[in-house]
Amino acid sequence: MSPETQAPHWEWYYIAMYFYIGGISAGAYFIGSLVELLGREKLREISRIAYYIAFPLICITPILLIADLGQPARFWHLFFYTKDITPYINHQSPLSVGTWALLIYSGMSFLSFLNVLVADGRLKSPALRSLLKLFNRIPHKVYAAIGSFFGFFVAGYTGVLLNTTARPLWEATDPLIGSLFIVSAASTGAAVIARALKRQNIVSGEMLERLELFDRVAMIFELLLIIMMVIIAGQYASPILRGWYGLMFWGGTVAVGILAPLWLNWSARRPTTSVNNPVLLGAVLILFGGALLRITLVQAGQIP
Amino acid sequence: MAKGMFVDTSICTGCKACQVACKEWNELPGEPAHFHKVPDRPYQVAINFTGNSYDNTGQLSATDWRHVRFIEQFNENRTEARWYFSSDSCKHCNDAGCLNACPVKAIVRTDMGNVFVQQDVCIGCKYCIPSCPYGVISFSEQSGTVHKCTLCNDRIHNGLGTACAKACPTGSISFGEVEELKKRADARLAQLKMRGFTKANIYGYTEAGSLNVFYLFMDEPSVYGQPEHPVVPQRRLFRSAAITVLTAVAMAVAALISFREQGTKKNGEVKP
């Protein structure tokens, strides 16, 4: 461990929020594309809603990322080396590889977004229609598969990016933050789909049941990962055990964001309990917990 | 051939001439964090120096590329004191965490082995900052980019040594070919050991793929604020990525099971 590393001073409202929103988008897209690839007619609404959510969310993220740069106008240097204007990628840098993955994922989620717009008869723009026609020579399932692969990449590389530094908390929790962010992305993605389905009142019992089942598995997995992470970090876990970040992590992420929804999720399985409210509340709690997970891990790793 | 510096802390007197020479040659301004507005003064006042030590800057920063570290050890009643000094800077690691982390190739290694930040390429993403196991590279709000010691890139490419080494009055900092400097360091270490300084050690032969700026310390590296076993973060990248991919596969399997055709068994379903 290094005694005197410096913190990057990333702002929570830019970087942690990017990790969070990118994760939700990628998680939702992954679930939507998987359902599409499985070809489940009964669950078609899940894909539709997922594609509607994924693209607008991912559109927010470049704004957050560019705003945090010291030289925002130079963001394009991430794609081209300025000395000879050739495409550039640094395979050793999760930030560099992740930027390209984000670009590819954005493209795929854009195509899927256009696809559902056409299916719903909402796409009026002739230019966009012909663009989609050009891409639709390849079956949409191919885009969905590529998109969910890079979506997972976007959800997970952010954790690998933190682990691949010399900051004590991030170094000591290596290699688990990437896994934790992936699982949280899947869980928040499922939650946002459940919430949107509810809002549109197009929800069938089976769809919610399946989303809940998946969320349950993800949350149990997330809980196990958090316990493992704290154990392997040992004394270096202290920034997330004490003070405000400790409260946010254990009270917010673990108790409110995982244990409470798990309990609601569990009790909703019993036929006597009303299904409606727990699902709604559970989804909101999961989304709240996912935000605090990113904020605490990103910010607590930067305190001196 | 790689150029570098050998810092023999056993003969450093803590005069800070190296800090001054570095500031002058590189035209570095005063550390902004040291100056603050106070009521009733139209100008900013220097009020944020360490104040409890002869160490004036406390750490390296975007405007302090060299920092003479004061290790001030006193006994209970302060009748005895032991002072160590160590002039610290970027070590120009041969496996440099900052260079590995840079997503835009702003941080490069020149033909002389020094690690250099191209100011016109840097985008200020700040990822190199936590990637340096020594906490050297720093962000400047003024330029929106990162800065650190360049090993006087302009001087050494024009046949001069570094400004700090040139200014050092005791020869504690010497500039030259790394291989030559190592010979000198080994000889000095042998001499000190012979004279009974058993704790003396060379820091930088193995750390981070070997350091082009390396040190002779009179005590453990940790006494001088240097990590005993610095890990270049990217050496952990493969494992970290592999575990994350495995988790992604596990989540895909969980999703397949959750959303597959047969579905879960309904509560109370009875097998025939």
| Residues of chain B positioned with their CB less than 8 A from the CB of A8 | 126-127, 129-130, 139
Q: Which residues contact B162 (CB under 8 A, 6 or more apart)?
A: B5, B151, B152, B155, B156, B173, B175
- Global pTM reads 0.91
> What integer pLDDT is reported at residue B34 of this predicted model?
76
Which residue of B104, B128, B145 is the best one to mutate when testing the A interface, meaning the one whose CB has the most A CBs within 10 A? Answer: B104
User: B240-259 as b/e, with b when 16 or more CB fall inside 10 Å?
Assistant: bbebbbebbebbbebbeebb
Question: How does pLDDT run across B216-252, given as a tens digit for each residue?
Answer: 999 999 999 999 889 899 999 999 999 999 999 999 9
Check: CB of residue A24 under 8 Å from CB of residue A57.
yes
The rounded distance, in Å, linking the Cα atoms of A300 and A289 is: 16
Q: Is residue B26 part of a domain?
A: yes
- Separation in Å, CA of B25 to nearest CA in chain A: 25
Which residue of B123, B139, B223, B236 is the best one to mutate when testing the A interface, meaning the one whose CB has the most A CBs within 10 A? Answer: B123
> What is the tally of helices (H) and strands (E) in chain B?
7, 12
Check: CB of residue B62 under 8 Å from CB of residue B90.
no
Q: Which residues contact A231 (CB under 8 A, 6 or more apart)?
A: none
Q: Residue A130 has which token pair?
A: 């012909």
Cβ of B237: how many Cβ atoms within 10 Å? 23
Name the residue in chain A with its Cα closest to that of B123. A71
| Residues of chain A positioned with their CB less than 8 A from the CB of B131 | 164-166
Q: Residue A238 has which token pair?
A: 């202290």
- Residue B131, domain extent: 3-230
Q: Is A74 on the interface with B (CB under 8 A)?
A: yes
Question: How does pLDDT run across B256-267, given as a tens digit for each residue?
Answer: 988 887 644 444
Amino acid at A93: S
Question: How does pLDDT run across B113-138, given as a tens digit for each residue?
Answer: 999 999 999 999 999 999 999 999 99
| Per-residue CA distances from B38 to B41, B45, B115 (Å) | 6, 7, 39
Integer-rounded Cα radius of gyration of chain A? 20
* Residue B91, domain CATH: 3.30.70.20
β-bridge partners, B93? B211
> What integer pLDDT is reported at residue A3 of this predicted model?
61
C-alpha torsion sign, points A289, A290, A292, A293 = positive
Helix segments in A8-43, DSSP class H: 17-38
- B237-259 vs A140-163: helix crossing angle, rounded to 10: 140
> What integer pLDDT is reported at residue A278 of this predicted model?
59
Residue in the block written with tokens 């400047």 = B140
Mean pLDDT for back-to-back runs of 10 residues, chain A (304 residues):
81 95 96 89 89 96 96 96 94 96 95 90 85 84 91 94 95 94 95 87 76 91 96 93 94 94 78 54 92 96 89
The average pLDDT across B147-164 equals 96
Question: How does pLDDT run across B97-112, given as a tens digit for each residue?
Answer: 999 999 999 999 999 9
Does B88 score more than 90 pLDDT?
A: yes
3-state secondary structure of A125: coil
Question: How many domains is chain B partitioned into structurally?
Answer: 1
Q: Is residue B213 part of a domain?
A: yes
Strands (DSSP E) found in B127-236:
138-140, 145-147, 173-177, 201-203, 213-217
3-state secondary structure of A37: helix
The rounded distance, in Å, linking the Cα atoms of B96 and B110 is: 13
First to last CA, chain B: 81
Interface contact flag, B121 A159, Cβ < 8 Å? no
The rounded distance, in Å, linking the Cα atoms of B54 and B13 is: 12
What does residue B71 show for φ and ψ, rounded to 5 degrees? -105, 105
Q: Is A23 on the interface with B (CB under 8 A)?
A: no
Q: Residue A271 has which token pair?
A: 């036929």
> What integer pLDDT is reported at residue A276 of this predicted model?
53
Q: Which among A83, A75, A74, A82 has a CA at the least distance from the CA of A99?
A: A75
Q: Which residues contact A39 (CB under 8 A, 6 or more apart)?
A: none
Cβ of A227: how many Cβ atoms within 10 Å? 11
Cβ of A38: how many Cβ atoms within 10 Å? 14
First to last CA, chain A: 14
Question: How does pLDDT run across A25-45, given as a tens digit for each residue?
Answer: 999 999 999 999 888 888 888
Check: CB of residue A34 under 8 Å from CB of residue B253.
no
Instruction: Report which secondary-structure segment, H or E, holds A64.
Output: helix A44-67
The rounded distance, in Å, linking the Cα atoms of A199 and A194 is: 9
> Residue ranges per domain, chain A?
12-213
| Per-residue CA distances from A135 to A59, A112, A128, A138, A140 (Å) | 20, 11, 11, 6, 9
| CATH number assigned to the domain covering A12-213 | 1.20.1630.10
Q: Which residues contact B62 (CB under 8 A, 6 or more apart)?
A: B138, B139, B140, B143, B146, B147, B148
Amino acid at B238: F
β-bridge partners, B83? B72
Check: CB of residue B19 under 8 Å from CB of residue B64.
yes
> What integer pLDDT is reported at residue B268 of this predicted model?
40
Question: How does pLDDT run across A117-157, given as a tens digit for each residue?
Answer: 988 888 888 888 888 888 888 888 898 999 999 999 999 99
Name the residue in chain B with its Cα closest to that of A67. B125
> What integer pLDDT is reported at residue B30 of this predicted model?
83
Does B270 score more than 60 pLDDT?
A: no
Q: Is residue B268 part of a domain?
A: no
Instruction: Report which secondary-structure segment, H or E, holds B67.
Output: strand B67-74
| Residues of chain A positioned with their CB less than 8 A from the CB of B124 | 69-71, 74
3-state secondary structure of B162: coil
Interface contact flag, B135 A5, Cβ < 8 Å? yes
> What integer pLDDT is reported at residue A203 of this predicted model?
63
Q: Which DSSP string do the residues of A133-197 spell out, in sequence order?
A: HHHTTS-HHHHHHHHHHHHHHHHHHHHHHHHSS--HHHHHTTTSHHHHHHHHHHHHHHHHHHHHH
**For residues A151, A155, A158 and A164, what is the CA-based torsion angle, rounded to 10 degrees?**
-90
The rounded distance, in Å, linking the Cα atoms of A273 and A271 is: 6
> What integer pLDDT is reported at residue A200 of this predicted model?
76
> What integer pLDDT is reported at residue B269 of this predicted model?
41
Name the residue in chain A with its Cα closest to that of B232. A166
Name the residue in chain A with its Cα closest to that of B143. A70
> What integer pLDDT is reported at residue A122 of this predicted model?
86
3-state secondary structure of B13: coil
Of the candidates A161, A186, A211, which has its C-beta nearest B251's C-beta? A186
